[in-house]
Structure 1
Amino acid sequence: MTAIALSSSSAPPLNKYLASTEKKTRDKAIKTLSVFLSDESRDEVPQSEMIRLWKGIFYCFWMSDKPLVQQALASELAELILTTTNMSSALSFLNGFWKTIVREWNGIDRLRLDKYLMLVRRFVNVSLRFLMQHGWDSKICQEYNNILTHQGGPLCPSDGRVSVGLVYHVTDVYLEELDKSHRSSTQDAPKPVPLALILSPFFNLAAQTPLGTTYKHLQTSLFEPLLSSCSLQEASSEEEEDKDELRARKRRRVESSSSDIYASIISNACLDDASAEAKLPSNALRRRILRRLFEVASHAETRDANRRKIYALCNAEHDDDDLSEE
């Protein structure tokens, strides 16, 4: 096969190579895409072209049929985020990924579902590493949050195309992959994780989702484990804490492993701005997260049924603190 070239006018031919039935052809197309995205001399890739490229990438992954090949390709695709030199193109690449996943998710058959679940997990992990690599810059974090929550994003509460199964999976893996990305950091003194900023798409989804089952999953799979982990970290640092209270805190833990999974981020987190805020003790972090949930519940656009549920969660968790006060 002749060398594969990619320019602004050659995305459709590259798509043909990406979706080829021959693995060698697909591999060459991925290498061409990698070289293209890492070329510092190139301008931002237009979103329309990125969406066309992702159509080919999706079917390139569809064609991978052996576990080790799937794992390697999932990692290689996700790592393209970190090697894309143009910031706007990196975000465009992420936007193309999520729009394609949302659009194609319901068409994934049962036999292929596991590998796409893995692909989503890889992209969540590398996306968070990308944000950490850029010092949790507030503007970049917000741009990524917008990708997740706007039309075509997996956490958009008003987009009826988004599969509930996809929402559940992203919710299930997000904190785990955030903690993994932080623990794997090679930075000598990484900036604190702006936890409320990073989780704001989930707060907003909890406030606005029309599905009671989705709200329940967010509460039981993300909010409660996070709050319980903060409580357990606080309890472990207080040697004189009453044993009955410690047992009560442990009973609130959703899974026994959650405190270990989230320990890295809980011990090095702030609320919104990694550049201006110091990391918070776990008890203060827990209070601030609850306060942020309380504030989100009070917004005018929050659904009444969801507002009541969030207030109930805050009332059950706040340990007599007045969350309405700063």
Structure 2
Amino acid sequence: MDEEMEVAEIRFAENLCSCSPKIRRRALNRLHDFIKNQTQKREFTPESFNRLCRGLHYAMWMQDKMLLQEELSDEYGSLVNLYNTHEEAIEYMRSMMYTLSKHWLNIDKWRMDKFLQMMRRLFRAFFVYLKNKNWDEELVESSILFMRQTLITGEESGIHESLKMHFATLYIEELDYAGDLSKKQVITFIKPFVELMKRTCSDSLMKSVYTEIFHTILEGYAAELEKKEGNKKVEGDLKGDGAPIEFDYAAIIELLKEAVTSETMNSKKKKKLQPLIAQFEEVARGENPFKDIMEPDRKDPLSNEMISKAVDKLHSLESKMKKDKKKFKAVKRTIKKART
């Protein structure tokens, strides 16, 4: 490796994590130019990425202003577009995840949110980058391999499990933000999570995948169904770059049924997946998967007598609370007198 370039990289990384806000800002302003110049001279090595990402991590650590944290997260995400090869883009993402995981347990509760936001914005930018490459099959395949090796796995991968759980939280939303995926391509992105559930993983990671991936899909369908029926206005939709993604529910059912019949999945997981499959089958028939929860049972309506008893009980409770309050005040006065 060119010694002169190595020294330049080390100096730049040191400036990124400098205690001086002016030096950090100057380094961040030169960030895009620095990476462009370096990639023109040669490919980034794993050591180069480690130095760069460590500097970026500490620059975020030092930033306390919320708006600037958001800008910084977006700036880090935009770097994925500067590398000459897709392999370099993936290695940048991999190194950012390893750096975040390495320092994860040292991040205090006041700084945690900005690093979770950083992770989300990194993958938002990465998915938009793939969208701009027209979701090229070869690039998607290598990207999914990277995610399976690091974040979509129950095995030790050098990434803290809580970051894997956060990745499940952002996955569907950020794919939807990028958009312009065919139903077949969406299944390609969902399949790794089904494979994860078939293999060994902790209960907490299993629950996260179950809730954040598959329940999110069901909730999205239920919200759209209510919107069409005019029952509810859907709010908080994240406006993305492309057309929202759509799901092949029959294909999802097939994947889940295949997982349930797999010999590698234990009986506890299989039992948990059965109701999920039933809900997706309801969706495939055009029904609301949460109708039993959302619609109260009206077969046995409340009688006037039952309502009257409930009202009397409420009045009785209110009366008792008032008496208890008076007793408490009396005891408080007695204690006060005793002290004086």
Could you say which TM-score interval applies, normalised by the shorter chain? 0.7 to 0.9
Residue 35 of structure 2 is matched in structure 1 by 37
How far 1:300 moved relative to its partner? 4.8
Match of 2:276 among 284, 297, 313: 313
**Correspondences of 1:164-183 after superposition (within 5 Å):** 164-182=161-179
Q: Residue deviations 1:191-235, cap 9 Å, x none?
A: 536112222333233333532222122212220220343466578
Is 1:159 aligned with 2:156? Answer: yes
Q: Provide the C-alpha distance between the structure 2 equivalents of 1:266 and 1:226, rounded to a whole number of angstroms.
A: 16
Q: Provide the C-alpha distance between the structure 2 equivalents of 1:55 and 1:263, rounded to a whole number of angstroms.
A: 30
How far 1:298 moved relative to its partner? 4.2
Letter of the 2:97 partner, please give it: W
Q: Percent identity?
A: 21
Alpha-carbon spacing, 1:300–1:10, altered in 2? closer, same or farther (3 Å): farther
Match of 1:18 among 16, 20, 33: 16
Q: Provide the C-alpha distance between the structure 1 equivalents of 2:241 and 2:88, rounded to a whole number of angstroms.
A: 30
Alpha-carbon spacing, 1:72–1:94, altered in 2? closer, same or farther (3 Å): same
Residue 87 of structure 1 is matched in structure 2 by 86
Is 1:294 aligned with 2:253? Answer: no
Q: Provide the C-alpha distance between the structure 1 equivalents of 2:242 and 2:268, rounded to a whole number of angstroms.
A: 31
**Correspondences of 1:48-63 after superposition (within 5 Å):** 48-63=47-62
Secondary structure of 1:158's counterpart equals coil
Alpha-carbon spacing, 1:232–1:110, altered in 2? closer, same or farther (3 Å): closer
Alpha-carbon spacing, 1:301–1:131, altered in 2? closer, same or farther (3 Å): farther
Q: Provide the C-alpha distance between the structure 2 equivalents of 1:82 and 1:294, rounded to a whole number of angstroms.
A: 39
**Correspondences of 1:266-305 after superposition (within 5 Å):** 268-269=245-246, 285-305=248-268
How far 1:25 moved relative to its partner? 1.5
Length, aligned pairs only = 280
Q: Provide the C-alpha distance between the structure 2 equivalents of 1:148 and 1:320, rounded to a whole number of angstroms.
A: 28
Q: Residue deviations 1:246-268, cap 9 Å, x none?
A: 99xx9xxxx9669x569998965
Letter of the 2:257 partner, please give it: F
Is 1:104 aligned with 2:95? Answer: no
Unaligned runs of 5+ in 1: 183-189, 240-245, 270-281, 322-326
Q: Provide the C-alpha distance between the structure 2 equivalents of 1:265 and 1:212, rounded to a whole number of angstroms.
A: 35
Match of 1:218 among 169, 191, 209: 209
More helix, by proportion: 2
Alpha-carbon spacing, 1:52–1:298, altered in 2? closer, same or farther (3 Å): farther
Q: Residue deviations 1:115-166, cap 9 Å, x none?
A: 111111111211110111111112212222222221xx23331127543432
8 A contact 1:6–1:14 mirrored in 2 = no
How far 1:65 moved relative to its partner? 1.6
8 A contact 2:98–2:158 mirrored in 1 = no
8 A contact 2:97–2:159 mirrored in 1 = no
TM-score scaled by structure 2? Answer: 0.70
Residue 318 of structure 2 is matched in structure 1 by none
Q: Provide the C-alpha distance between the structure 2 equivalents of 1:131 and 1:119, rounded to a whole number of angstroms.
A: 18
Is 1:70 aligned with 2:33? Answer: no
TM-score scaled by structure 1? Answer: 0.73
Alpha-carbon spacing, 1:13–1:60, altered in 2? closer, same or farther (3 Å): same
8 A contact 1:17–1:29 mirrored in 2 = yes
Alpha-carbon spacing, 1:50–1:257, altered in 2? closer, same or farther (3 Å): same
8 A contact 2:177–2:240 mirrored in 1 = no
Is 1:192 aligned with 2:190? Answer: no
Q: Residue deviations 1:59-100, cap 9 Å, x none?
A: 111111211221111111111112333322211111111111
8 A contact 1:208–1:306 mirrored in 2 = no
Secondary structure of 1:20's counterpart equals coil
8 A contact 1:148–1:154 mirrored in 2 = yes
